[in-house]
Amino acid sequence: MTPTSTRTTALVTGASAGLGHEFAKQLAAQGHPLVLVARSASRLEETAADLHRRYGITAEVLPADLTVDADVAAVVERLKDPARPVGILVNNAGIGLLHNFEDNPIGAEKTT
């Protein structure tokens, strides 16, 4: 396996539970440094510590509520930070409307 230091950093939203947690775990097992996003900072800290202990990767915690514009902006800023590049985005957190994305009004996307 490539040493961790040369692996691309991955940002995973909804990384503290369910599918996002599994994505984070599998990326950590491959040696990717992580940025973990969800609302609960304490659950993110637990996840980061567990993944570091199991796989030796660094996991940064970025608490954010992705229904709040300012929090989304903070995540975008982190993604754009040239000093700390992120090469993989797993934008998992969310809820699906039962239509094609392009058929949904922006209001429905923002309120669900």
Ligand X SMILES: NC(=O)c1ccc[n+]([C@@H]2O[C@H](COP(=O)([O-])OP(=O)(O)OC[C@H]3O[C@@H](n4cnc5c(N)ncnc54)[C@H](OP(=O)(O)O)[C@@H]3O)[C@@H](O)[C@H]2O)c1
Residues that bind ligand X (CB under 6 A): 13-20, 38-40, 43, 64-67, 92-96
Query: Which residue spans within 17-111 are E strands per DSSP?
Result: 34-38, 59-63, 88-90
Which CB, 39 or 52, lies closer to ligand X?
A: 39
Which CB, 23 or 32, lies closer to ligand X?
A: 23
Neighbour tally for 15: CB within 10 Å:
32
Neighbour tally for 66: CB within 10 Å:
16
SS3 100: coil
Q: How far is the CB of 33 from ligand X (least distance, A)?
A: 19
Q: How far is the CB of 100 from ligand X (least distance, A)?
A: 15
Residue nearest to ligand X (CB): 18
Q: How far is the CB of 2 from ligand X (least distance, A)?
A: 27
